[in-house]
Amino acid sequence: MPCVAFLFTLPRVNMPALSLLFVTLVWGLTFPVLKLATAHFTGLEISALRFLVAAFCLLPWAVRAPRKTWMDGAVLGALVLFSYVAQAYGLQFISSNRSAFLTSLNVLMVPLLGVLFGNRLSWHKVLCALLACAGIGLMSWDGGANWKADTATVAGAAGNALYVIVLSARAGRHEARSLAATQIVWMAALGCLWMIADAQGTDRLHTMGSRLNAEILWGLAYLGIVASAVMLFLQARAQRHVSADKAALIYALEPVFAAVFAWLMLSEALGLRGTLGAALVVLAVLGSEWKPNASSLA
């Protein structure tokens, strides 16, 4: 009986937060997968193709979605499309670890941009965000700078931060599958139009078939079906119950997972400084679960 009593004293598992943690793990793998794909395709081409695959999977739910879901899906889809294209463009020129660091600056951007939407700025969340960013910097700051790639990746991080804020505000208005499906369809349509416009005057569209190989096809299947279609659904459902600030701190674990997968797939090593940084990120995420009370502030 003492064992049973002990089990009842354990904290309840926060399933929405756990779902976002799984989403973050899956997204961590996208960095090396995208890095491999950029050897044959531009960031815009990869983004358009992955969302075409995802849209095909979610089309039945998109067709049945009401008009208001399509409207919010357009806003969210445009934000996340910009974020993904900017990230993929940067990965053409910088390492996956560096990209993960710059992308994860949205951890700090979410509470700061949230002030513009009327949210209160908690010192506790800001402290955890700063700690997470410091850890990400120690872990992932490697390789030489590339002004265009770094700027594009930071702009993508800002787009992702806005997406997290808007999603937390609007996810509760819609059924999760319908919202994810409309986002994906908008992203596929806008991404293809963007890709066609960008390819005008070149032979990139004509050579696309010859640049595909088994590795790229498996990568697109993972990026489109798992990392986009399934994860955007889980994210839309989980963020109905998780605040934007807390979600951003969970997403801070993304570069930790990205570093592990980059080491396994690309031999991008993580040294002592990187290990210390990863520990700081984990500490920041765990610290975000602590809720300060009046006695702790006295």
Instruction: Give the pLDDT mean for 18-44.
Output: 88
Instruction: Give the pLDDT mean for 167-176.
Output: 84
How confident is the prediction for the chain on average, in pLDDT?
81
- Report pLDDT for 182: 94
Q: How many domains does the chain have?
A: 1
Q: What is the DSSP string of 72-120?
A: HHHHHHHHHHHHHHHHHHHTTTS-HHHHHHHHTTHHHHHHHHHGGGT--
Residue 4 confidence (pLDDT) above 60: no
- Report pLDDT for 141: 63
Residue-wise pLDDT for 44-95, tens only, equals: 898 899 999 999 988 998 999 999 999 999 999 999 899 988 988 988 888 7
Residue-wise pLDDT for 138-150, tens only, equals: 766 655 567 888 8
Beta strands in the chain (DSSP E): none
Could you tell me what percent of the chain has a pLDDT over 90?
Answer: 19
Residue 55 lies in a domain: yes
Residue-wise pLDDT for 237-265, tens only, equals: 888 888 877 787 788 788 888 888 888 88
Nearest residue to 159 (alpha-carbon basis) of 225, 57, 90, 97? 90
Burial of 291 (0-12, 13-18, 19+ CB in 10 A): exposed
- Report pLDDT for 289: 60
Identify the band that residue 36 occupies on the pLDDT scale cut at 50, 70 and 90.
confident
- Report pLDDT for 156: 92
Residue-wise pLDDT for 92-147, tens only, equals: 888 787 788 788 777 778 877 877 777 776 777 778 878 877 877 776 665 556 78
CA 48 to chain centre: 16
- Report pLDDT for 131: 83
Residue 296 lies in a domain: no
Nearest residue to 99 (alpha-carbon basis) of 217, 261, 216, 241? 261
Residue 11 confidence (pLDDT) above 60: no
- What tokens does 47 get? 């983004």
Residue reference for tokens 């354990």: 10
Residue 172 lies in a domain: yes
Identify the band that residue 31 occupies on the pLDDT scale cut at 50, 70 and 90.
confident
> Domain span at residue 274?
14-289
Residue 265 lies in a domain: yes
- Report pLDDT for 53: 92
Nearest-angstrom CA–CA distance, 158 and 42: 21
- Report pLDDT for 140: 63
Residue 298 lies in a domain: no
Residue 295 lies in a domain: no
Please tell me whether residue 42 adopts helix, strand or coil conformation: coil
Q: Which helix (H) or strand (E) holds 172?
A: none
Residue 6 lies in a domain: no
Taking CB atoms within 8 Å and a gap of at least 24, the contacts of 9-18 are: 16/237, 16/238, 16/239, 16/240, 16/241, 16/242, 17/238, 17/242, 17/246, 17/250
Nearest-angstrom CA–CA distance, 161 and 278: 21
Could you tell me what percent of the chain has a pLDDT over 70?
Answer: 87
Residue 9 lies in a domain: no
Nearest-angstrom CA–CA distance, 86 and 154: 8
Residue 293 confidence (pLDDT) above 60: no
Q: What value, to the nearest 5°, has the Cα angle with vertex 240 and ends 125 and 56?
A: 120
Residue-wise pLDDT for 203-247, tens only, equals: 888 888 888 888 889 999 999 999 888 887 888 788 888 887 778
- Report pLDDT for 78: 93
